[in-house]
């Protein structure tokens, strides 16, 4: 009996500091690392979310833009930070999906981080130059196959989601399109509009102005359901292609080993913020739909995304550090 009482007392003693830590957290401003330069869509998402999230937590966030190495620098800074909840990273599909799948990075997208929760996602859209004589994806595939080696597609760069998604379509259909990588999605879209390339698979936010102007035609979107902003455009699954549920997503992680009570507090307040209709309206400017998840769900999502793109990169022989 004495031994059991001693063990219970010891357990209670260990639990008290953890409980006190969670109750007093956060006691100061939190560093929120964003792996892109200030001014872009990802940065806007970070500032819109953290402004409201900080109010829910009773402490502000300091947004720290760290764009070096395509997100690698930001990931390293986060992974090496104390796991006390005061350093968080806005990871996204590149840092925790396509980049680890296509090149050697000195962080592990799964084991070096604690998942906090998903923010939201936007689909990619298979789009073609308006002068390409195809009204749907079947007509487009037939058109490409009738002209082997003569047509091309642009991407935001080697190993980007815009690159890998089109390579997945090429793998599924057996069609050939020459890949033209650009330094970002804007110049890739410009060349599509000018007719230098015929197809592209950009994020919806970048494509929307050109789809609305009629200079670019949407054939299908990724994701499990149609986009509210393109209600007449089918999903890839609707037109017969499974496995195209990948999205341009944004979520929050911290260093590995964060206290569960702090993770829970961060996740619960994040979800409350994401459920506010006013935030959804703000994020719609980047065509991002809020997508709340528990830490466990988000962790599984990251694992699945890394596995998905790693398998494709291997199958298509896409390795950018060799």
Mean pLDDT, residues 252-265: 98
Q: Of the candidates 15, 107, 32, 113, which has an alpha carbon nearest to the alpha carbon of residue 66?
A: 32
Q: Is the pLDDT of residue 156 over 90?
A: yes
Q: Is the pLDDT of residue 15 over 70?
A: no
DSSP character string of 112-139: TEEEEEEEEEE-BEEEEETTSS-SSHHH
pLDDT at 21: 56
Tell me the C-alpha distance between 90 and 104, whole Å: 21
Give yes or no for a contact between 166 and 179, defined as CB atoms under 8 angstroms apart. Answer: yes
- Max Cα-Cα span within the chain: 84
Class level of CATH domain 2-121+247-315: alpha beta
pLDDT at 1: 44
205-232 pLDDT tens trace: 999 999 999 999 999 999 999 999 999 9
10 pLDDT band (50/70/90 cuts)?
Answer: very low
CB atoms < 10 A from the CB of 89, how many?
28
Mean pLDDT, residues 110-127: 98
Please state which of the ranges 10-19, 54-63, 170-179, 246-255 shows the lowest mean pLDDT.
10-19
What are the structural domain ranges in the chain? 2-121+247-315, 125-221
pLDDT at 227: 95
Alpha helices by DSSP H, listed for the chain, are 2-24, 41-57, 72-80, 99-102, 137-145, 161-173, 185-193, 204-213, 260-274, 277-283, 295-315
Give yes or no for a contact between 253 and 96, defined as CB atoms under 8 angstroms apart. Answer: yes
pLDDT at 16: 47
Q: CA geometry: angle at 172 spanning 169 and 178, to 5°?
A: 50
Mean pLDDT, residues 137-160: 96
Tell me the C-alpha distance between 176 and 145, whole Å: 7
12 pLDDT band (50/70/90 cuts)?
Answer: very low
Tell me the C-alpha distance between 319 and 38, whole Å: 29
- Residue 18: cis peptide before it, omega within 30 degrees of 0: no
Q: Could you give the percent of the chain with pLDDT greater than 90?
A: 88
The topology (CATH level 3) of 125-221 is D-Maltodextrin-Binding Protein; domain 2 (3.40.190)
39-83 pLDDT tens trace: 989 999 999 999 999 999 999 999 999 998 889 999 999 999 999
More confident call, 3 vs 168: 168
* pTM listed for this prediction: 0.90
Asked if the domains at 2-121+247-315 and 125-221 fall in one CATH topology, the answer is yes
285 pLDDT band (50/70/90 cuts)?
Answer: confident
Give yes or no for a contact between 73 and 35, defined as CB atoms under 8 angstroms apart. Answer: yes
Tell me the C-alpha distance between 60 and 174, whole Å: 51
pLDDT at 286: 87
Q: Phi/psi of residue 88, each to 5°?
A: -125, 160
Quote the mean pLDDT of the chain.
93
160-201 pLDDT tens trace: 999 999 999 999 999 999 999 999 999 999 999 999 999 999
Q: Is the pLDDT of residue 254 over 70?
A: yes
């Amino acid at each position: 009996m004495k031994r059991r009482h001693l063990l219970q007392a010891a357990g209670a003693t260990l639990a008290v500091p953890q409980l006190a830590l969670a109750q007093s957290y956060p006691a100061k401003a939190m560093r929120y690392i964003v792996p892109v330069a200030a001014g872009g869509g990802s940065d806007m998402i970070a500032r819109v979310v953290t402004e409201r999230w900080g109010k829910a937590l009773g402490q502000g966030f300091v947004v720290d833009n760290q764009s070096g190495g395509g997100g690698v620098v930001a990931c390293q800074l986060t992974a090496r930070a104390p796991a006390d909840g005061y350093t968080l990273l806005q990871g996204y599909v590149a840092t925790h999906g396509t980049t680890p799948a296509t090149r050697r990075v000195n962080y592990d997208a799964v084991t070096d981080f604690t998942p906090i929760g998903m923010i939201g996602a936007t689909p990619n859209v298979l789009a073609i130059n308006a002068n390409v004589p195809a009204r749907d994806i079947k007509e487009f595939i037939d058109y490409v196959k009738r002209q082997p080696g003569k047509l091309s597609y642009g991407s935001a760069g080697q190993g980007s989601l815009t690159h890998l998604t089109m390579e997945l379509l090429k793998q599924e259909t057996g069609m050939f399109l020459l890949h033209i990588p650009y330094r970002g999605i804007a110049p890739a879209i410009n060349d599509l509009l000018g007719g230098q390339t015929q197809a592209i698979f950009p994020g919806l936010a970048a494509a929307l102005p050109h789809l609305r102007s009629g200079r670019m035609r949407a054939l299908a979107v990724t994701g499990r359901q149609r986009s509210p902003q393109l209600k007449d455009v089918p999903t890839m699954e609707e037109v017969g292609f499974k496995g195209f549920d990948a999205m341009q997503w944004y979520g929050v992680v911290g260093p590995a080993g964060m206290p569960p009570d702090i993770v829970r507090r961060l996740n619960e307040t994040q979800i409350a913020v994401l459920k506010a209709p006013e935030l959804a309206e703000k994020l719609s400017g980047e065509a991002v739909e809020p997508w709340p998840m528990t830490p466990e769900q988000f962790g599984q999502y990251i694992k699945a995304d890394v596995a998905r793109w790693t398998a494709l990169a291997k199958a298509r022989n896409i390795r950018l550090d060799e």
